[in-house]
Amino acid sequence: MSESGNGSPAVLTLNAGSSSVKWALFRMDSLPVRTATGKIERIGLRDGIVTVTDVATGHNERRIEQVPDHAASVRLLIDQLAYSGKGLSVQAIGHRVVHGGSRYADPQVVSAEVMEELRRLSPYDPEHLPAEITFIEAFGTEYPQVPQVACFDTGFHQHLPPVARLLAIPRRYETLGIRRYGFHGLSYAYLMEELERVAGRDAARGKVILAHLGNGASLAAVRDGVSIDTSMGFTPASGLPMSTRSGDLDPGLVSYLARTEGMTTEQFHHMVNAQSGLLGLSEISPDLRDLLAQEGRDARAAEAVALFCYQGKKWIGAYAAALGGLEQLVFSGGIGEHAAVVRARMCEGLEFLGIHLDREQNEANVAVISSPESRVTVRVIRTDEESQIAQSVCRLLALNEVR
C-alpha cells in the first residue's frame, strides 16, 4: 500500500481495543468499497491470533503469532498492509476513538491539539484510549503525509438531554467533564442510516430503540433521529452486564470491598472490566455461545444467560417509557444479529408494548422478525462500524469530490 500517488485511492480504518485491533481497507468509488479486512486478537497473551480476509476472493487466512504488545501489533499490521494494499494508495486513515469527552463529538483531523486532548482524556477510558493513541502515533510516523481522522464513539450521544446526561453527584464534577456520555455511537449512527435506507425517513425519525449486543452491549433510545438516552454512561463498563464487564453496580461495593478485602481502585477496575459480566457469573466463559450450549446442564451458565436477557428486557421497557411509545426495535452486534434465542427472551412478555415476534422469522435471522400483528417493527440489522468510519472520513476530507 503506497502512501500517495500510485494506485487506486483508498481509506484505511482502524479500531484498536485493549487486546485487539480490527482494520479494513476501502477503495474510494462513489461510496467506499471494502477490499480487505483483518483482526489481531489476544494482544499481550501467549498466542495471538491474526485473521485476514480478501473481500474480492473471499479468501480467509488465520494464523497464530506472538503479539506481546500494541507496538508489535502495529508492526504486524503495517507489514500486512503492504500485501493486502497492493494497487491501493492510502489517502486517509480513520480511527475509532472511544471517548471524545466534552470537547469532541464530530470527526476531527488529528492534530497536535487533538492528541493533547486525547492524552488528557486517557483516564476516562484506560481500557481503550492508550491503545488508540499508540496506533495514531505509529501510523503518523509510518505515513507522515497522510491525514488521520479520529471518529468518536461518544459523538452520537452528544445531544443527550440534561436529565439523561447528569450524574447525581456534586455539581462541581460536571464542570470537570464527569457525566454520562454513552458509547457504541459509530454503530448507532450506521444503524440509523441503514434504518432510513430500508424503512424510510419516517421510520428513522420515529420512536426507535437500538440494541447493540456483542462483547460490549448497550441500548439507545432515539427520537427524531437523536439519541435521548443510552445505557452506557461515563465509561463503557456501565449499563447491561456484558462478556466481561459488570454493567451497573451499587457504588457502595467500592468501599465495601476496600474494607473487607483490601481491594484497591485498580483491582476493582480490573474486576468490573475483565472478570465480571457473563464470565464472572458463569465462571465458565465470556462467550454467550458457550453459555447457551451449557445452560441445560450448568445452573451458572443458565443464570448468566437469564440475567443478560432480563436486563435487556428491562432496558427496552424503560426506553419505551422514555420515548412515550415504541415503533422500531433494532437488534445488532454479534449477539443481536445471530442469537435468536436471546432476541426472543428479551422480547418475551413485552406484548403489552406491541412487540410480537414471528418465531420462524426470528430463528431464520431475517431482516424483519416481528409478526404481522406486531405494532412494533422488530428488525435485525448488521452493523458496520468500519464502513461508518470510512464514510465519515470521506465526508470530512471530501475525498470523493477530490476524485
Mean pLDDT of 99-104: 95
Q: 146 and 85 share a domain?
A: yes
| pLDDT above 60 (res 322) | yes
Total Cβ atoms within 10 A of residue 377 = 20
| pLDDT above 90 (res 180) | yes
Number of domains present in the structure of the chain: 2
Q: 120 and 211 share a domain?
A: no
Q: Which of 22, 26, 33, 14 is nearest to 90 (CA)?
A: 26
| pLDDT above 60 (res 4) | no
DSSP string, 172-238: GGGGGT-S-----HHHHHHHHHHHHHHH-HHHHTSEEEEEEESSSEEEEEEETTEEEEES--SSTTS
Q: 271 and 344 share a domain?
A: yes
What pTM did the predictor assign? Answer: 0.94
Catalytic residues: 153
| pLDDT above 90 (res 83) | no
Residue 300 exposed, middle or buried by CB count within 10 Å (0-12, 13-18, 19+)? middle
Asked whether residue 216 is domain-assigned, the answer is yes
Whole-number pLDDT of residue 1: 54
Asked whether residue 147 is domain-assigned, the answer is yes
pLDDT confidence tier of residue 70, bands split at 50, 70 and 90: confident
Q: 276 and 142 share a domain?
A: no
Q: 49 and 143 share a domain?
A: yes
Whole-number pLDDT of residue 403: 42
C-alpha cell at 139: 501510523
| pLDDT above 50 (res 36) | yes
What is the tens place of the pLDDT at every residue in 279-307?
A: 999 999 999 999 999 999 999 999 999 99
Q: Which of 228, 222, 227 is nearest to 208 (CA)?
A: 222
What CATH number does the domain containing 93 carry? 3.30.420.40
Domain enclosing residue 143, as ranges: 8-152
Q: 142 and 222 share a domain?
A: no
Taking 3-state DSSP, the helix, strand and coil percentages for the chain, each rounded to the nearest 5, stand at 40, 20, 35
Pairing of strands 328-332, 377-380: parallel
